[in-house]
Amino acid sequence: MTQIQIWTLVFVVITFGIYIYIAYASRVSNTAGFYIAGGGIPAPANGAAIAADWMSAASFISMAGIIAFTGNGYAGSVYLMGWTGGYVLLALLLAPYLRKFGKYTIPDFVGDRYSESARLVAVVAAVVISFVYVAGQMSGVGLVFQRFLGVGTVTGVIIGMVIVFFYAVLGGMKGITWTQVAQYTVLIIAYLIPTVAISVQVTGMPVPQIGFGQILAELDGLQRDLGFEAYTEAFTQTNMLNMFLITAALMFGTAGLPHVIVRFYTAASVRAARYSALWALFFIALLYTSAPAIGAFSKLNFIDQIAGTGLDATPGWFNTWRDVGLITVDDANGNGLIDYGPDAGEVTVNNDIIVLAAPEIAGLPAPVVGLVAAGALAAALSTASGLLLVISSSVANDLYYKRINPHATEERQLLVGRIAMGAAIVVAGYLGINPPGFVAQVVALAFGLACASFFPILVLGIFWKGTTARGATAGLAAGLITTMAYMLWTIDIYGDGDGILGIPETGFGTVGMLINFAVTIIVSLFTPKPSAAMQELVEEIRYPGKSRLVAAHAEGHLEEAAAEEGIIDAPPSDRDEPPSDRPGRS
């Protein structure tokens, strides 16, 4: 084994051992612990867990590569702007109100706010989004194992499946939460150490966010010399329309991600949920302000070491990544040199390798390389576990308990949830072995689906009392189906993202969102309004200190409490099934 493989193995064994121990110590025996960790996670810990859950393999592995190698840095910045802006939108616009409403999952909110039919459509949407998203995470796991431990992608994905199965199935949300705190610690240390080291090496500045600005002029000049557009030049690879659509899809999709929203239910109160959001924003900013820097440093080092180099004189790291098929070289003109430029087409670099290869490119020691590999695994597994819990809770709580067997005991619900999670892990492993694209591209598809499906009905469900069940159901189905059909069509037929008006599949989620909004609003205007009690409940969740109806709703006595409050002359409810008399759960 090489020194890099040895150190990678050491860090992987240590970190995986920590994750397994935390899962065993945090094992649960009730649904509250399995779905929302008992609702008592401290705000700083919850913020770290939210950050780990949200900053997936796409953030750790792919984002810097996209920024650096998608033609120029400007074009790739859509991911940085969309994902960061989306989290702020989620924290301010949705999370506190959903936490006050007090449900386990997005389908749970949709079912109680609208109808059982809407709940079923939401379950389908949550499962589809989570499976698309988790495919990118498991693909990232396979990539790390393939490169740094010399095992096949299939073997690497299976190892990741086993680890996630153990701590997610055993500990549920409680085990996942504390494991994600540890995973965030690992991934942020693994990201910042090489970033700071490379910044000092390239610029002499230990603060990469400052050093990054010092090399942009040099990078602009190098790219022009090679025939590329300047690194900072706007609208070269992506026009203004698509920059807007992709950024918006990622932003509004972030605000509708089911596995991130459910994390706010683990906070002890609405106030704690707000503080959790603040802590999470701080933890996220540590990585997201570093990603453009590590991307620019790596691009500069790559050009210096590879452009014009002889095929028999390439550095060791280049040969290693070429051997695993993530860098391809074609000496088209037969001159024995690597001609790197937009017209040469002799070198293709997979976006997913840039952060993983950055320490090797910079000549950092093997322990740093091994640490980065462990950090990438932490990022992928933390998000994968959160997504798998969404699938499990959607099946066990929103489908089995709420629709099939409302008298199921907690033990039976836990059993169904764990079986659903085990089955989901198997499907996730298959998707990880056969992903439809590179990590961030696959993840971007999930964001587009979340943007087109959940974001409109959550916003309208909170801020427009007149949103009806039929309107929400129709809008949710229209946005999801239209966006999914477009994605499948553009990927299968074109393969390069060209579709209607040149809109790529990663940007169509914004169009699907507008369709969802339009259908929901139009149908709501011509269908019976929600009950007066529900309208007052929606009004109450937006105001701090008012919680009488919220508490009554959690206990299943909304109508009685509304009557006591003098809410009368209610219009007919538009629920297409009679409300259950089962006690609700907060």
Q: Give the model confidence (pLDDT) of 424-450 as tens digits.
A: 888 888 877 876 555 556 777 888 899
pLDDT at residue 275 greater than cutoff 80: yes
Mean pLDDT is lowest, of 12-26, 368-382, 560-574, for: 560-574
For the segment 207-211, the average pLDDT, to the nearest whole number, is 89
User: With helix as H, strand as E and coil as C, how does 218-239 read?
Assistant: HHHHHHHHHCCCCCCCCCCCCC
Structural domains of the chain in order of their starting residue, each with its CATH number: 3-206+239-297+365-451 (1.20.1730.10), 532-564 (no CATH)
Q: Provide the sign of the torsion angle of the four alpha carbons 392, 397, 402, 408, taken in this order.
A: positive
CA 148 to chain centre: 24
Could you write out the DSSP letters of every residue in 374-423? HHHHHHHHHHHHHHHHHHHHIIIIIIIIIII-TT--HHHHHHHHHHHHHH
Note the pTM of the prediction, 2 decimals: 0.80
State residue 495's pLDDT score: 42
Question: Any bridge partners for residue 327, and if so which?
Answer: 349
- At residue 38, the pLDDT reads 58
Is the confidence at residue 347, as pLDDT, over 50?
A: yes
Q: How far apart are CA 264 and CA 269, in angstroms?
A: 9
pLDDT at position 524 over 60: yes
Side chain identity at 397, as an amino acid letter? N
Listed range (20-34, 198-212, 318-332) with the worst mean pLDDT: 20-34
The residue count for the chain: 586
Residue 582 pLDDT > 50, yes or no? no
Q: How far is CA 93 from the centre of its chain?
A: 18
Instruction: Work out the average pLDDT over 231-238.
Output: 76
The backbone torsions φ and ψ at residue 329, rounded to the nearest 5 degrees and listed phi first, read -130, 135
Lowest mean pLDDT of 69-73, 106-110, 142-146, 461-465, name the range. 69-73
State the pLDDT at residue 235: 73
pLDDT at 241: 86
Which of 119-133, 385-399, 505-519 is modeled with the greatest confidence? 505-519
pLDDT tens, 241-250?
A: 888 898 999 8
The mean per-residue pLDDT over the stretch 503-516 comes to: 90
Using left for φ > 0, alpha for ψ between -120 and 50, and beta otherwise, residue 41 falls in beta
Q: How does residue 578 score in pLDDT terms, banded at 50, 70 and 90?
A: very low
328, containing H or E segment: strand 327-329
Q: Are 522 and 474 in contact (CB under 8 A)?
A: no
Q: What is the pLDDT of residue 575?
A: 47
Across the range 522-543, mean pLDDT stands at: 88
Is-contact 62 250, C-beta < 8 A? Answer: no
Mean pLDDT of the chain: 81
Query: Quick one: the chain helix, strand, coil %, rounded to 5?
Result: 75, 0, 25
Three-class SS of residue 347? strand
Q: Are 3 and 320 in contact (CB under 8 A)?
A: no
Strand partners, 337: 310
